[in-house]
């Protein structure tokens, strides 16, 4: 429960209000999260929040944070050289072994692309291990698309579709929600290992779309978000039905939370 | 030494320095939203039922310092806080509350997630349990299979045998530490008649329990998440969180930063929290459980249903405190019965 003192090695605002922090000096001593796992980042005097792994830079870890509350605002305001605390890694990440030898479908909405990015990196790096791979990325507007500079590399390896909810007139890409693009990528849904992360309502609809196309609920992995204070199943805040998302999640098979997700306010 | 004692018009576990501070001559009258201290006119030590508060505050204090640090924008020094060792004796703890500590052990002493504060306070506890022979109107430990007679987890277990002429304690030794203590206590060997007298009292206690909970009802209620009964109880519930504070197994917490006035010192404190607050489920500034209905459902179904999935047993020990301390007298045994109806 004791944070390790770390330092910001690099900072970049990668979208409006969204900052990429490369955290150094400590990553090796606490261990690097697996794709889908998270660290607790501490802005001393303000508080601590769970932030998923966005990537690695040598021994440093990269976290992408959107300023939505007091703690994330404080973290986003950090500059290179500034100190912060870190605990982790926590939780259960993506189970990529479920995808070995199978088709893969990845659906990312908004900031949901962040925890999926290391997974996409693994798949692109070991492309031959998988069948057809579909990657659907959505964001509010073109300027909210994260990691757009990596789309060319990803698009060369997998079937990539990108869409935005709202676009200025110079946008030549797709406009609409990610759920409309499930048929735009060619994967065998009966067989595909499906990975979804985004706003909860988007995950709900995306899961429904792929369930309707025959993907079993235990082949759909989603990364859930809840309030967390401890990361080790003690504070009780992250419960979703029987699941402590901080330990069993944040990545859980849809089958595990399907019943809870049918009830408002679970 | 922590034992039930009379404080502020209630009987509650607190520090005592002698047996004279036990609630001699007192019992309690408890019901939904109702608690009265009542003189018994006898000199019984343990004539009361559940103390108004539980024993969890001694093992997992309402506030615990986790981390101390000094920080400027570019420097951070973090100093772990090593909890001070404490050696408690819990005297006069009932079977329900002993079972509750067993449940907290599963949360805070999980092999891969040990809480240092809890572990330090729990390690040395010397337990003098007492068989509960005066259950209250809000009690239902017999339904939950936790009482009224303690079965394990004690160093000594007492049954107070009192009938006016006779005032003795039947002592069951549960550990070597317990045996060592008893070596210095004068008494006579127990005979079969003593065991029979204790068993008869336990049997009467089971019959006298004021409440019952059918173990088949919680899973039925879980299958009815949209039952109108949730809205009905939410219409009465004040979302005050009293039930979670007095519950001997509710363990949820918040961790807060506290800063020094000069701004360079910072501490992280863990404080009890309740699933009935809006902040508890806050995500991006809004609560996931925005309604009292969703919060009551979370509390009740966690306590009675998902606790089984998480920790292998019910999270309720049947102490009845949540009924007594509810300002509007909500009775979970009555609610679960309604919610289980199809």
| Domains assigned to chain A | 4-90 (2.40.30.10), 96-261 (3.40.50.80)
Both tokens of B111, joined, read 């092999």
Do B158 and B33 belong together in one domain? Answer: yes
Residue listed under structure tokens 């805040």: A237
Q: What's the pLDDT band for A25 if we cut at 50, 70, 90? A: confident
How many CB atoms lie under 10 A from the CB of residue B279? 11
Q: What is the mean pLDDT of residues A51-64?
A: 93
> Positive or negative, the Cα torsion across A38, A43, A44, A47?
negative
pLDDT at A204: 96
pLDDT at B71: 87
Do B158 and B19 belong together in one domain? Answer: yes
Among the partner residues B76, B280, B306, nearest to A242 by beta-carbon distance: B306
Do B47 and B150 belong together in one domain? Answer: yes
pLDDT at A26: 75
Nearest to A105 by CA among A197, A176, A37: A197
Nearest to B105 by CA among B173, B53, B156, B55: B55
Q: Is the pLDDT of residue A42 over 80?
A: yes
Q: What is the mean pLDDT of residues B167-178?
A: 96
Test B76 with A5 for CB contact under 8 angstroms: yes
Contact by Cβ (8 Å): A195, A229: no
Q: In the predicted model, what is the mean pLDDT of chain A?
A: 95
Do B225 and B275 belong together in one domain? Answer: yes
Among the partner residues A226, A229, A242, nearest to B253 by beta-carbon distance: A229
Among the partner residues B75, B289, B291, nearest to A83 by beta-carbon distance: B75
Backbone angle region of A236, left / alpha / beta, with phi > 0 → left and psi within -120 to 50 → alpha: left
Do B180 and B260 belong together in one domain? Answer: no
Q: Which of B175, B208, B241 is the last residue of a domain?
A: B208
Q: What's the pLDDT band for A18 if we cut at 50, 70, 90? A: very high
In angstroms, the separation between the Cα of residue B245 and the nearest Cα of chain A is 14
Q: What is the mean pLDDT of residues A7-27?
A: 92
Query: How confident is the model over A145-176, as pLDDT tens digits?
Result: 999 999 999 999 999 999 999 999 999 999 99
Percent of chain B surpassing pLDDT 90: 93
The secondary structure of residue B216, as a DSSP letter, is T
Q: In the predicted model, what is the mean pLDDT of chain B?
A: 95
Query: How confident is the model over A188-240, as pLDDT tens digits?
Result: 999 899 999 999 999 999 999 999 999 999 999 999 999 999 999 999 999 99
Through-space distance between the first and last CA atoms of chain A, rounded to whole angstroms: 27
Cα-flanking dihedrals φ and ψ of residue A157, to 5°? -100, -30
Q: Which of B155, B176, B208 is the last residue of a domain?
A: B208
Q: Which of B208, B228, B261 is the last residue of a domain?
A: B208
Do B165 and B281 belong together in one domain? Answer: no
Do B23 and B87 belong together in one domain? Answer: yes
Do B51 and B176 belong together in one domain? Answer: yes
Contact by Cβ (8 Å): B324, B11: no
Q: What is the mean pLDDT of residues B250-258?
A: 97
| Local structure of B50: helix, strand or coil | coil
Residue listed under structure tokens 């404190």: B269
pLDDT at A264: 83
Contact by Cβ (8 Å): A260, A249: no
What ipTM describes this predicted complex? Answer: 0.94
Q: Is the pLDDT of residue A46 over 70?
A: yes
pLDDT at B261: 84
pLDDT at A58: 86
Do B229 and B149 belong together in one domain? Answer: no
Do B161 and B255 belong together in one domain? Answer: no
Contacts of A85 in chain B (CB under 8 A): 69, 76, 78
Residue A226 CA to residue B277 CA, distance in Å, equals: 15
Do B190 and B237 belong together in one domain? Answer: no
Residue B50 belongs to domain spanning: 2-208
Q: What is the mean pLDDT of residues A47-74?
A: 94
Q: What is the mean pLDDT of residues B24-32?
A: 96
In angstroms, the separation between the Cα of residue A174 and the nearest Cα of chain B is 28
Q: What is the mean pLDDT of residues B300-327?
A: 98
Which residues is A223 bridged to in the sheet?
A251
pLDDT at A27: 58
Residue B107 CA to residue B118 CA, distance in Å, equals: 10
> Positive or negative, the Cα torsion across B255, B259, B260, B266?
positive
Do B235 and B90 belong together in one domain? Answer: no
Q: Report how many domains make up chain B.
A: 2
Instruction: Assess B17–A contact: CB distance below 8 Å, yes or no.
Output: no
Q: Give the residue from B56, B255, B263 with the most A CB atoms within 10 Å of its CB, the best one to mutate.
A: B255
């Amino acid at each position: 429960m004791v944070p390790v003192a770390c330092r910001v090695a690099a900072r970049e605002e990668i979208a409006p209000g969204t900052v990429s922090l490369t955290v150094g000096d400590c990553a090796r001593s606490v261990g690097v999260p697996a794709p889908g796992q998270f660290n607790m980042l501490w802005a001393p005097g303000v508080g601590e929040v769970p932030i998923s792994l966005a990537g690695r830079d040598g021994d440093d870890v990269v976290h992408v944070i959107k300023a939505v509350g007091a703690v994330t605002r404080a973290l986003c305001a950090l500059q290179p050289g500034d100190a912060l605390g870190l605990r982790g890694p926590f939780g259960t990440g993506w189970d990529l072994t479920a995808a070995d030898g199978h088709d893969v479908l990845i659906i990312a909405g908004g900031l949901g692309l962040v925890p999926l990015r290391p997974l996409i990196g693994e798949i692109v790096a070991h492309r031959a291990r998988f069948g057809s791979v579909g990657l659907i990325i959505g964001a509010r507007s073109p300027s909210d698309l994260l990691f757009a500079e990596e789309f060319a590399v990803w698009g060369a390896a997998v079937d990539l579709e990108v869409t935005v909810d709202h676009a200025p007139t110079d946008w030549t890409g797709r406009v609409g929600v990610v759920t409309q693009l499930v048929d735009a990528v060619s994967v065998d849904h009966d067989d595909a290992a499906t990975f979804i992360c985004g706003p909860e309502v988007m995950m709900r609809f995306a899961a429904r779309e792929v369930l309707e196309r025959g993907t079993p609920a235990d082949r759909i992995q989603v990364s859930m978000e809840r309030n967390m204070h401890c990361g080790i199943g003690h504070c009780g805040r992250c419960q979703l039905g029987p699941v402590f998302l901080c330990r069993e999640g944040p990545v859980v098979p849809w089958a595990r939370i399907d019943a809870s997700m049918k009830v408002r306010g679970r | 030494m922590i034992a039930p004692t009379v404080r502020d018009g209630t009987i509650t576990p607190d520090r005592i320095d002698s047996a004279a501070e036990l609630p001699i001559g007192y019992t309690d009258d408890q019901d939904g939203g109702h608690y009265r201290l009542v003189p018994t006119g006898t000199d019984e030590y343990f004539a009361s039922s559940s103390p108004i508060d539980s024993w969890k505050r001694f093992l997992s204090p309402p506030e615990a310092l986790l981390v101390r640090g000094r920080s400027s924008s570019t420097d951070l020094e973090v100093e772990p806080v090593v909890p001070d060792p404490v050696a408690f004796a819990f005297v006069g703890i009932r079977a329900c509350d002993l079972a509750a500590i067993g449940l907290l052990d599963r949360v805070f002493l999980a092999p891969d997630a040990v809480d240092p504060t809890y572990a330090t306070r729990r390690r040395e506890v010397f337990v003098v349990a007492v068989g509960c022979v005066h259950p209250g109107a809000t009690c239902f430990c017999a339904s939950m299979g936790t009482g009224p007679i303690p079965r394990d987890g004690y160093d000594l277990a007492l049954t107070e045998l009192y009938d006016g002429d006779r005032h003795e304690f039947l002592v069951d030794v549960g550990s070597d530490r317990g045996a060592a203590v008893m070596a210095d206590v004068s008494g006579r060997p127990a005979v079969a008649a003593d065991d029979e007298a204790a068993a008869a009292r336990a049997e009467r206690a089971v019959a006298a329990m004021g409440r019952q909970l059918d173990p088949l009802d919680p899973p039925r209620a879980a299958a009815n998440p949209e039952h109108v009964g949730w809205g009905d109880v939410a219409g009465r519930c004040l979302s005050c969180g009293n039930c979670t504070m007095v519950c001997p197994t509710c363990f949820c917490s918040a961790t807060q930063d506290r800063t020094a006035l000069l701004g360079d010192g910072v501490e992280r404190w863990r404080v009890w929290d309740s699933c009935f607050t809006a902040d508890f489920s806050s995500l991006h500034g809004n609560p996931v459980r925005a309604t009292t209905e969703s919060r009551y459902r979370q509390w009740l179904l966690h306590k009675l249903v998902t606790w089984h999935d998480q920790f292998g047993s019910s999270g309720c020990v049947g102490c009845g405190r949540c009924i007594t301390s509810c300002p509007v007298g909500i009775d979970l045994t009555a609610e679960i019965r309604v919610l289980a109806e199809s």
